[in-house]
Amino acid sequence: MPLPKTSRRPTTSDDSLMAVMTYLQAISDGLRQEMRRDKRVFVIGEDVGVYGGAFKVTQGFQEEFGPWRVIDAPLSETAIVGGCTGAAIMGMRPVAEMQFADFISCAWDHLVTVAAKQRYRAGTPVPITVRLPSGGGFSGGPFHSQNPESSFAHIPGLKVVCPATPADAKGLLIEAIQDPNPVLYFEHKHLYRRIKDEVPDERYTVPFGEARVHREGDDLSVITWGAMVYTADEAAQKLDEEGISVEILDLRTLAPWDKEAVLRSVEKTSKALVLHEDTLTGGFGAEIAATIAQEAFENLDAPVRRVAAPDTPVPFAPVLEKAFIPQVDDVVAGLRELADY
């Protein structure tokens, strides 16, 4: 059944309705629209049905779509993703919810060994979307605060999406559901109710692999994604008061990622800082820094800097967690280093 043609970008024309939504509402809105539009789409996860999800993303979904399209799964991520893989191979469009992104390690085998390689091995598309509430900032401790995006960005055959704004959250989720590949959709818990913005009512998609210039600047480039976009923005405002102009690039998706946009920005500023909430070593920032070093070497006026969490589990204590997750001051310090270089 051919899908109706859809717009690729959120439109802001006068005739489209815009509502202010939280990041969480935008995810919920996108998911609901896609379920209404496409009968193949169903959700499965722990407590997503009767309870409406641990974070209430699917609240009211079971009432509207029934228990066969909003399925409460047992406490087994292996079963959830394994079931989704089978359903996807049979032509469905499952949207799985991990209660916390941290738990996806249980589903590693199904995702990495089966889903990511099925298309390559057998030519069968595996259109799964796995929603992954990720990130810290509220004392969730080591099992409920991680950002495991780089592990999956490393796996060929998987796509990795990390929206930062409500509008992107909706558009990227719909794009993920209609994508014929397994897509890991990292939704940052700390943004759920904190970030509100206008979101078009209509259905739209945001294409993968296109970075968003969150803030334009001339002197320094910050390349980041997810909740760190807002940390970077606050840091940029502080530097702006000192007359240093910072450009912030929100990658939006890591696999694929918008290399050209990064190289363009670095060509302009010649100084780059890569920022992520995930731990430093082997984080996706390493890939970006290496790419800049290799492909923009002659445009560099300073070494590429990385600001990321230290290589430890996420601490539980609020003070320690604050020391762990990159804060505005950490980013300011890193940017000053670059500016002074």
Partner 1 sequence: MATGTAVDVVMPQMGVSVSEGTITKWLKSEGEQIAADEALLEISTDKVDTEIPSPASGVVQKILAQEGETVAVGTKIAVISPGDGAAQAPETPPEPATTQAAQASEAAAGAEGETPTAERVEDAREAEPAAAETVETPPEPAPQAEPAPPEAEQAPAPEPVAAAPEPVAAAPEPVAAAPEPDGDGRPQGKFVSPVVARIAAEHDVDISQIEGTGRGGRVTKKDILQHIESGPAQAPVAPAEEEAQAPAAPAPQKQPPAPAAAPAAAPAGAGEIVEPMSAMRKGIAEHMRRSLDTSAHVTSSIEVDMTKIASLRQKLKKEWADAYGVNPTYLAFVARAVVETLKDYPWINGEIRGDSIVTRQFVNLAFAVELADGKGLIVPVVKNAETLNLLGLAKAIADVAKRAREKQLLPDDVQGGTFTITNPGGYGTFHGTPIISQPQAAILGTYAVVKRPWVVEDELGEDAIAIRSIMNLTLTYDHRLVDGALAGRFLRDLRERLESWDESAE
Measured CA to CA, the distance from residue 209 to residue 238 in angstroms comes to: 29
Comparing CB distances to partner 1, the nearer of 68 and 297 is 297
302 scored as a contact of partner 1 (CB under 8 A) = yes
Residues binding partner 1: what is the number (CB under 8 A)? 11
299 scored as a contact of partner 1 (CB under 8 A) = yes
Comparing CB distances to partner 1, the nearer of 114 and 292 is 292
Pick from 106, 300, 328, 333: which binds partner 1 (CB under 8 A)?
A: 300
Piece of the chain touching partner 1 by CB under 8 A; list 14-22, 135-143, 151-159, 294-302 = 294-302
295 scored as a contact of partner 1 (CB under 8 A) = yes
Give the Cα-Cα-Cα angle 329, 333, 335 (nearest 5 degrees).
Answer: 115
Pick from 63, 109, 201, 301: which binds partner 1 (CB under 8 A)?
A: 301
Measured CA to CA, the distance from residue 251 to residue 131 in angstroms comes to: 18
Comparing CB distances to partner 1, the nearer of 125 and 303 is 303
Q: How far is the CB of 219 from partner 1 (least distance, A)?
A: 8
Piece of the chain touching partner 1 by CB under 8 A; list 66-74, 104-112, 299-307, 320-328 = 299-307
Specify whether 276 is catalytic.
no
270 scored as a contact of partner 1 (CB under 8 A) = yes
3-class SS of residue 1: coil
Measured CA to CA, the distance from residue 47 to residue 212 in angstroms comes to: 34
Q: How far is the CB of 234 from partner 1 (least distance, A)?
A: 25
Pick from 5, 121, 298, 319: which binds partner 1 (CB under 8 A)?
A: 298
Comparing CB distances to partner 1, the nearer of 295 and 330 is 295
Rg (CA), the chain: 20
Residue type, 329: D
Neighbour-count burial for 218-234, b at 16+ CB within 10 Å, e otherwise:
ebbbbbbbbbbbbbbbe
Whether 189 contacts 213, CB under 8 Å: no
Q: What is the DSSP code (8-state) at residue 192?
A: T
Comparing CB distances to partner 1, the nearer of 37 and 268 is 268
256 scored as a contact of partner 1 (CB under 8 A) = no
Whether 95 contacts 183, CB under 8 Å: no
Find the helix or strand (DSSP H, E) in which 24 lies: helix 23-37
Measured CA to CA, the distance from residue 327 to residue 271 in angstroms comes to: 20
Q: Are strands 129-134 and 272-279 parallel, antiparallel or unpaired?
A: unpaired
341 scored as a contact of partner 1 (CB under 8 A) = yes
Tell which positions 122-141 bind partner 1, by CB under 8 A: none
Active site residues: 144
Give contact residues for partner 1 (rule: CB under 8 A).
270, 294-295, 297-302, 340-341
